[in-house]
Copies of this chain bind each other. A is one copy, B any other.
């Protein structure tokens, strides 16, 4: 069967795969499936067996924890170029969250077997995978820290300042609806709205729709630590 040139090009863009040579990439390409989805589609349910991981090519995906009483919490917002599900796949446990598309998009599904094979044959690949997982663990620890030691205002400020660094500008464009961002910060939409209002009153930010101008970054930083 002929190797899909486009799939190959996409795999090359995955940071994790930077250490692979052409032949190794082709092996991955043979088991990789593309998957186009539309808004609201569920990529996997909580509890589904994790036999591979995803690489998001286009669109947005939210990873959502589902509590017993129906409460939901967005753990992560996946943007194009990011992968998700690697860790769960490696221990062979079912997904602890479900993944829902926020809009139409496209993802690659890369089965587990190829990964194990690559770890066995390419130490540089192993190191890169380890580094990626470690970075994500670090982020999780930070999230636990923020959840357990910061209040609503501090979490919002922390998020805004963090996004500012990523977007390299003094205005932040929220990458999703305020309700989704609120959940990501473990807030209700109401509280999120109120906090933004407060910050605006203090002349620290200016809100217009999903665009938030940071008027006084130093003042913002002073809000938490």
Which residues 103-141 of A sit at the B interface, judged by CB distance below 8 A?
Answer: 116, 119-121, 123, 126-127, 129-131, 133-138, 140-141
Q: Is A91 an interface residue (CB 8 A)?
A: yes
Q: CB within 8 Å of B: which of A54-103?
A: 65, 67-69, 71, 73, 75, 86-88, 90-91, 93, 96-97
Give complex CA distance A96, B141 in Å. Answer: 8
The answer to whether B138 touches A87, judged by C-beta atoms less than 8 angstroms apart, is yes
Residues of B within 8 A of A68 (CB): 224-225
Stretch at the interface among A27-35, A143-151, A210-218: A143-151
Q: Does A142 interact with chain B (Cβ within 8 Å)?
A: yes
Q: Are A121 and B119 in contact (CB under 8 A)?
A: no
In the complex, which range does the number of interface residues on chain A fall in?
Answer: 35 or more
Point out which of A65, A75, A137 has the most chain B C-beta atoms below 10 A from its C-beta.
A137
Give the contacting residue for A225; candidates B67, B123, B127; CB below 8 A: B67
- Within the complex, the shortest CB–CB distance from A118 to chain B, in Å, comes to 10
A65 neighbours in B (Cβ, 8 Å): 141, 144-145, 148-149
| A75 to B144 Cα, complex, angstroms | 8
The reply to whether the CB of A7 lies closer than 8 angstroms to some CB of chain B is no
> What B residues does A67 contact at CB under 8 A?
145, 149-150, 225
User: CB within 8 A of A137: which of B121, B136, B149?
Assistant: B136
Report the minimum CB–CB distance from A192 to chain B (whole Å): 14
Q: Which residues of B contact A143 (CB under 8 A)?
A: 144
Give the nearest-CB partner of A185 in chain B. Answer: B148
Does B140 lie within 8 Å of A140, measured CB to CB?
Answer: yes
Residues of B close to A88: CB separation below 8 A: 134, 138
**Do the beta carbons of B126 and A116 come within 8 Å of each other?**
no
Q: Select A140's contact among B123, B137, B148, beta carbons within 8 Å.
A: B137
Question: Which of A67, A71, A86, A224 has its CB near the most chain B CB atoms (within 10 A)?
Answer: A67
* A 173-225 contacts with B by CB, 8 A: 186, 224-225
Contact A131 B90 (CB under 8 A): yes
Residue picked from A75, A97, A130, most chain B C-beta under 10 Å: A130
